[in-house]
Structure 1
Amino acid sequence: MAVDKRIVKTDNAILDAFISLAQTTPLKKITVTALAKEADISRKTFYDRYANLDELIDSLQKYMAQRFEDLFMLPIKHEHILREDIVMDFLEFAEDNQKLLAILKHDSNNFLAAAIKQEGDSMARFLVSELDFSPESAKTMAPWLITFYVEGSNYLLDKWLFTENDLTKEDVTHLFMLLYKDSIFMMQKKR
């Protein structure tokens, strides 16, 4: 099925307008009228896609969270394998969407809570089956470990994207690979 270029163009215009407005206006003060004007679309076109601005913001947050989850939560669920090409792809995505990440990162607690709820049981099972923790200990530690991955990864990504540094994508990819591989390796070794 062919992608309608007009739809893509309009969606991109909405995203660009949102990013532009959010850099100078608090999110709660952005209006559909201002967004439509900035995107050079009608209010009807906006409402054809979203019920309101909260739905747009929620949609963008879910999209960004899904990209983050694809990289950092899937390895936790699937044999703890993190591929270098996937990390590099995510870092390229983060660079390309740096302004949107900066706008949406203030709501990262919602993503963390969702990640713990969604992945907590899986992580606890891993701790029991692979590392011989008791079920009670694993249930307590699983949210801690997920928080470590999510918050630690967020912190490193923020430092790389939003501070002055000379690190390349390759450097940061290598760092993420070391952290993920070594944290799992060290846990397995201690048991």
Structure 2
Amino acid sequence: MAERRDVIRTKKALITATYELIQEPHTKTITINDILERANISRGTFYAHYKNIPDLIDAVEDYILDQFNELFDHLTSIPKDKVETRQAIIQLINIIESRQSDLNSIFNYVDDVRLQHKIKLRFTYKIAKSLSETANVHDPEFLSVCICSIVFNPIIKWFDHPGDVTKEHLADNITRFIFDGYKSFFN
């Protein structure tokens, strides 16, 4: 059964208010009163939809992922050669880089481990779906988890330390690992 429009509108107001508060510089804590004031909603209405702030934050994380769907949208097919793979990785890095200030404020406020896990799940799902639809792959779920780890984890590390290597070098290393394996890094 679909939710009523007024319920959807109220939840969206609460989620949007929380998201906006997270985006404000130097936000360390957000109270229910902050959210209620921003959303212009009563305390009773808040509790009719969410148990507490962590429950709302979980919904905000899903909203955030929906805002960053472009991270996943370009994965309509899995590149099958090194050049296409490198280009896809650079495109992904560019998308993340263009939204970095938004991502930083979000990751600084919410449980970044949980949000990273949600991102990885969505990324893995999208890759598995693409593999199932476009390639003859024995175990698309397993392969998608591996690809996600190989791509996502180095990119997260790179954003923590962007001066260590260029994004092109990062894309080269990820592509090399995917196509040539870990042994290609040994001298």
CA shift for structure 1 position 152: 2.5
Give the aligned partner of residue 4 of structure 1: none
Between Structure 1 and Structure 2, the one with more helix by share is: 1
CA spacing shift, 1:56–1:112, aligned 2, 3 Å: same
What secondary structure, in the 3-state scheme, does the structure 2 residue paired with 1:102 have? helix
CA shift for structure 1 position 60: 3.3
Matched, 1:94 2:100: yes
CA spacing shift, 1:97–1:34, aligned 2, 3 Å: same
Give the aligned partner of residue 113 of structure 1: 121
Aligned mates of 1:180, 1:69 — CA distance in 2? 22
Give the aligned partner of residue 154 of structure 1: 156
CA contact (8 A) 2:147 2:178 kept: no
What secondary structure, in the 3-state scheme, does the structure 1 residue paired with 2:28 have? coil
Aligned residue among 3, 27, 42 for 2:40: 42
CA shift for structure 1 position 146: 1.8
Give the aligned partner of residue 61 of structure 1: 61
CA spacing shift, 1:143–1:74, aligned 2, 3 Å: same
Aligned mates of 1:98, 1:185 — CA distance in 2? 31
CA shift for structure 1 position 93: 0.7
Give the aligned partner of residue 174 of structure 1: 168
Structure 1: stretches of 5+ with no match in the other structure: 1-9, 161-165
Aligned mates of 1:44, 1:95 — CA distance in 2? 31
Give the aligned partner of residue 3 of structure 2: none
Matched, 1:32 2:32: yes
Q: Percent identity?
A: 10
Encode CA deviations 1:30-69: one digit per residue, 9 max, x unaligned: 54223234x4x52249x69x94445652343234434666
Structure 2: stretches of 5+ with no match in the other structure: 1-13, 80-84
Aligned mates of 1:94, 1:174 — CA distance in 2? 17
CA spacing shift, 1:178–1:157, aligned 2, 3 Å: same
CA spacing shift, 1:68–1:13, aligned 2, 3 Å: closer
CA contact (8 A) 2:78 2:127 kept: no
Aligned mates of 2:151, 2:92 — CA distance in 1? 16
Q: TM-score, normalised by structure 2?
A: 0.55
Aligned residue among 15, 21, 25 for 2:19: 15
Encode CA deviations 1:122-169: one digit per residue, 9 max, x unaligned: 34777x64xxx7x25x65443222222222322222333xxxxx57xx
Aligned mates of 1:113, 1:11 — CA distance in 2? 21
Q: CA RMSD in A?
A: 4.4
